Amino acid sequence: MKTVLLFLSHRIPYPPNKGDKIRSFHLLKYLSENYRIFLGAFIDDPSDWQYTEKLSEWCEQTCFLGLHPKLGKFRSLRGFLSGEPLSLPYYYDSNMAAWVSQAMTQGVGNILIFSSAMAQYVKDERFNNINKIIDFVDVDSDKWRQYAEKKNWPMNWVYNREARKLLNYEREIATLFTASLLVSSAEANLFKELAPESAGKITYCSNGVDIAEFDPAISFSNPFMDSGPHIVFTGAMDYWPNEDAVVWFVNEVLPAARIKWPTLKFHIVGSRPTEKVKSLRKESGVDVTGRVPDVRPYLHSATAVIAPMRIARGIQNKVLEAMAMAKPVIVSPMGLEGIDAEHGKEVFIASEAADYIESLSQVISGESSHIGIHARSKIVSDFSWENTLPKLDQWLI
């Protein structure tokens, strides 16, 4: 008889079409092989409600609650009064707390928390003797610190406050849990420095790629209308680091690239583009697709994939997926964290605008045909889910 595992996630782990949902889904699917999964999660995208029944394939019991981002932001203001991180009231719902209490009557043996804000539901003494694992994924508090560096007052003050408060909370949670997981050795080492009292319980479980799905041997229809060259960026486009990356690229790199290659097109592929991202459509050579049913045709037909991240934590799934599709990827040092790929062999690393132009020159001229082959090999050897997920087993009972 399988034991019960309570899995709490800040966002429904399906469909696996964006960074956190890719990771949470594969964790859930893997754990369902040996545990009865009780899943509690929020749904912040109305289009995701259609997938609730799908998760019954892996879960015995579920609780899904709607979360309206604007209402969540309003609720988060309570954090200024309580002194807690704003992220906690954003994700607090008394109905979720009640469901967790009911689930605990079913003999829960393990708890897995995905994203730190969900740990608030299992903090009190009722959970002291339950094996609890938290997947922080990234050191979120440090991401807020990075945000603060890019913003003006008053938002830089708000983000600096969140960085401080959230780090204190992350440290507290780490002391209460059996193990704290992060997405890479770099993230784990950073958190060990920030939370030295829990260093012995901090480890990592790398992200992976479904290498059978992201396979360049699969035939896809070409989504592009002309011969290009075509540069692609993928990601959720309501996520500020992604917005920041594409705006920077359009302003700082694309004009020079279009002078050198007048027919070059830059495709921004991802759901819920912000108004700032949508406004890039007015620039010559820029295509903003919005949500697409499948990013793989865009990757498959791309001349190059870029990830000019200036704000980042953890491993970028967009980079892993493009590498798995055997594409030349031009990526910033921050965007490559945790992947340990070699410049000029498996990827191109670019920091300044001139670096992107130089790398594009090598790709478009055909001088870098080996890059994609080596990139795919790197992913198969180091980032398949089959290789990464069994690391979870050592922390479960």
pLDDT in tens, 276-306: 999 999 999 999 999 999 999 999 999 999 9
Q: Is residue 74 located within the same domain as residue 172?
A: yes
Q: What is the pLDDT of residue 56?
A: 96
Going by pLDDT thresholds of 50, 70 and 90, the confidence category of residue 11 is very high
Phi, psi of 113 (to 5 degrees): -105, 125
Which of 155, 189, 205 corresponds to the end of one domain? 205
* 394, part of any domain: no
Structural domain span for residue 102: 3-205
Going by pLDDT thresholds of 50, 70 and 90, the confidence category of residue 320 is very high
Q: Phi-psi region for residue 105, left (φ > 0), alpha (ψ -120 to 50) or beta?
A: alpha
Mean pLDDT value of segment 89-116: 97
Question: Does residue 150 surpass a pLDDT of 90?
Answer: no
* Beta strands 304-307 and 286-290, pairing class: unpaired
Mean pLDDT value of segment 340-346: 95
CATH number of the domain where residue 116 is located:
3.40.50.11720
Q: What is the pLDDT of residue 17?
A: 86
Mean pLDDT value of segment 310-329: 94
* 397, part of any domain: no
Spatial separation of the C-alpha atoms in residues 381 and 364, rounded to whole Å: 27
Number of domains in the chain: 2
Whether the Cβ atoms of residue 15 and residue 21 lie closer than 8 Å to each other: yes
Q: What is the pLDDT of residue 367?
A: 84
| Closest to 331 (Cα-Cα) out of 291, 393, 284, 378 | 378
* 17, part of any domain: yes
Largest distance between two CA atoms of the chain: 66
pLDDT tens digits, one per residue of 58-82: 999 999 999 999 999 999 999 999 9
Question: Does residue 1 surpass a pLDDT of 80?
Answer: no
* 224, part of any domain: no
Q: Is residue 158 located within the same domain as residue 254?
A: no
